[in-house]
Amino acid sequence: MSKPSTTRRLLAYALAYKFKIIGALLILVCAVVAELGGPYITKTIIDRHLSADAGDLGAVLGLIALYMALLAVAGLGNFTQSYMLQSTALRIIQNIRMDLMRHIHRIPLRYFDNTPIGQVVSRIANDTEAVRDLFMSFMATFVVSFVQLTGIFVALFILDVRLALFCLLLPPLFALIMVVHLKYSKGYISIMRARLSDMNAMINESIAVMPIIQAFRREKKTIQEFEVLNEDRYVNQVKQFRVFSLSSRNIVGTIGSLVTAAVVWYFGRESLQSAISFGVFYAFIDYLGRIFQPIIGIFDQLTNAQRAFVSADKVFAIMDIDGAEVEKVDGARRPEGKVKFDNVTFAYKEGEPVLKRISFEARKGETVALVGHTGSGKSSIMNLLLGFYEPHEGAITIDGRDISAMSKQALRKHMGIVLQDPYLFAGDIKFNVSLYNPNISLEQVKQALKDVGAAPFVEQLPGGYDEPVIERGSTLSSGQRQLISFARALAFDPSILILDEATANIDSETEGLIQRALKVVSEGRTTLVIAHRLSTIRGADQILVLHRGEIVERGNHEELMALEGRYYKMYRLQTGERASSDTQVGGAAFGAVQP
């Protein structure tokens, strides 16, 4: 099914405020009529009173008073219509920006894996702001100019039909110039917007990895890469300005001067052949001069309008990406937590499977650990379980129900996840645990922090549980951030707990705290663990060894060590000569602290 055009979609947003827009346009018409009445009143004063032998001073003063009243009405009307139209434009953009933000949360994770974050930010921030310029310029300039031109031509026809017909040649001529202008500037504007998006993406990436850039002395190279993008945008902007300069005020001013000279010549010739009034001559020149102001206004806004259409195309391109609705799942049943992968095959790129015929089962209260070298498919299994991607073959079930038939919100409602690189939001400690979930009280927050061993260091902070946390939690140590992310997962009381390298970036003392907490927390829950530090998963009920997307070994720690296969070699590589003695340690509970 074809998508509606950008123009139709923008119009649909505007129609939501059609009554307010119509009211503003009616006020605009009244203001234009009041403005255009001025020259006609002046013409009447000149022809009927000033040229008479004995002018009627009372009538003149009355007409002057009417002129002043019309100016006041025009000023008030212009202010009112401008306020109404521009406030409506701001409201429309607010709606577009919110629709875009809502849709981004519906888009599958695959899109964000393949799109730089800076480009997405540019769409929400810069491109919607450019679309705002379209509504502001269109409703405040294009529509106003059209109404003004219509009123001016009506007044010209009242004064002199032949010369008014001659002036009707001006709109098609200016329209042709606009078409040429748009044709040549569109390409430049598209490149300018693309480079702006690229620069935003690069700035975002540079800030995120600034320690790496500085550590590897990549500052100059990064600046050079940015300079290439910046220079390309500058070159195309200069070209666009060149087109604008040649086809806007200059050409309108030149044509305006030529037409004014022709009108003066016409009236001069007429004055020799007939008794044309000076008042008509004055009014016609006044109205003619007013024709070019709205034309210049339209030209001045053409660039903004074109930039806005390019930006609107990019915004709607994101909104056209298929996504899943964010559903309310307050009544979703809590699952027991029986997870089953049945012959699952998956590929990020067609023809390049990263998982091949994966089958395993994790029962309620069990701990299943996934181990293997980087790229073996461990994280891909977790991504499938969380519903970030769909398997190409096979099925994934929870309590016997295929997760493909479940809403993503219901699927994730009773899952907790802790990542290797914990992310903390800007806010305070208690917010980062509860995420403003109304079902999680402050006491539950404190208990979760206590369970993971984070309460002592949190209570020592100046603000305690109200201690501000800046973006990414960079003022806290990696171990402290990890403990808070553990508390976040525990506070939500999941039936399925996912740990993705959750103990990789912490010291031995902090690891001991986490392992003791996990021993208690994992009771009654299905826990899936990705671990490179094999000592942390010795007590797992089942260990799956992955290699190139396949499960090549499975069993508990003792069984796999006795097998002396891939797991045995990995364990010996990590623990050295201690491996043989460690195998004699009894089946400790999951995450038992090693001596």
Tens digit of each residue's pLDDT (9 = 90 or more) over 11-28: 888 889 989 988 988 888
- What pLDDT shows up at residue 2? 62
pLDDT value at residue 595: 29
| Nearest-5° Cα angle at 233, 232 to 239 | 95
| CATH code given to domain 6-319 | 1.20.1560.10
Asked whether residue 251 carries a pLDDT value surpassing 80, the answer given is no
> Comparing 32 with 397, which gets the higher pLDDT?
397
Q: Inform me whether the pLDDT recorded for 70 exceeds 60.
A: yes
Mean pLDDT of the region 283-303: 78
- Considering only residues 231 and 37, tell me which one the structure prediction assigns the higher pLDDT: 231
* pLDDT of the residue at 580: 44
User: Mean pLDDT, to the nearest integer, of 393-402?
Assistant: 93
pTM above 0.75, yes or no: no
Instruction: Give the other-Cβ count within 10 Å of 93's Cβ.
Output: 20
Is residue 101 over pLDDT 70? yes
- What pLDDT shows up at residue 267? 66
How far is it, in rounded angstroms, from Cα 269 to Cα 228?
61
User: In this predicted structure, what is the pLDDT of residue 585?
Assistant: 34
> Who wins on pLDDT, 139 or 152?
152
Span 335-414+496-505+527-583: which CATH code? 3.40.50.300
Task: From residue 189, give the alpha-carbon distance in Å to each of 240, 267, 308, 336.
Answer: 7, 44, 10, 56
pLDDT-derived band at 134 (thresholds 50, 70, 90) equals confident
Mean of the per-residue pLDDT values of the chain: 81
- Structural tokens at position 131: 């679309």
Q: Say what the pLDDT of residue 566 is.
A: 92
Tokens linked to 500: 């993705």
Closest CA to 361 of 334, 399, 392: 399
Of all residues in the chain, the percent with pLDDT exceeding 90 is 15
Dig out the tokens for 206 from the structure. Answer: 């540079």
428 compared with 110, residue with greater pLDDT: 428
Cβ pair 467, 428 in contact under 8 A: yes
Q: What is the mean pLDDT of residues 557-566?
A: 92
* pLDDT tens digits, 208-233: 778 778 877 888 888 888 999 999 98
Kindly state which CATH superfamily the domain 421-493 is placed in. P-loop containing nucleotide triphosphate hydrolases (3.40.50.300)
Chain-centre distance for alpha carbon 568: 48
155's CB contacts (< 8 A; 6+ apart) are: 36, 39, 40, 283, 287
Instruction: Report the C-alpha gap between 447 and 434 in whole angstroms.
Output: 12
Overall average pLDDT of the 51-72 stretch: 77
Q: Judge if 6-319 and 421-493 fold alike in CATH terms.
A: no
**Residues 429/458, Cβ–Cβ less than 8 Å:** yes
- Tens-digit pLDDT profile for residues 327-347: 666 666 788 889 999 999 999
Which residue's structure tokens are 């309008």? 305
Name, of 162-166, 324-328, 458-462, the range with top average pLDDT. 458-462
Number of residues that this document lists for the chain:
595
pLDDT for 586 equals 33
Q: What is the structure's pLDDT at 319? A: 87
Tell me the pLDDT tens digit for each residue of 476-490: 887 788 888 888 888
Question: Domain residues of the chain, as ranges?
Answer: 6-319, 335-414+496-505+527-583, 421-493
Q: In what order do the strands lie in the sheet with 415-418?
A: 415-418, 496-500, 526-530, 367-371, 542-547, 550-555
Determine the pLDDT at residue 520: 63
Among 6-10, 30-34, 192-196, 279-283, the range scoring the smallest mean pLDDT is: 279-283
The single-letter DSSP state of residue 50 is: I
Place of tokens 């921030």: 125
Mean pLDDT for the stretch of residues 254-263: 76
Residue 274 has pLDDT above 60, yes or no: no
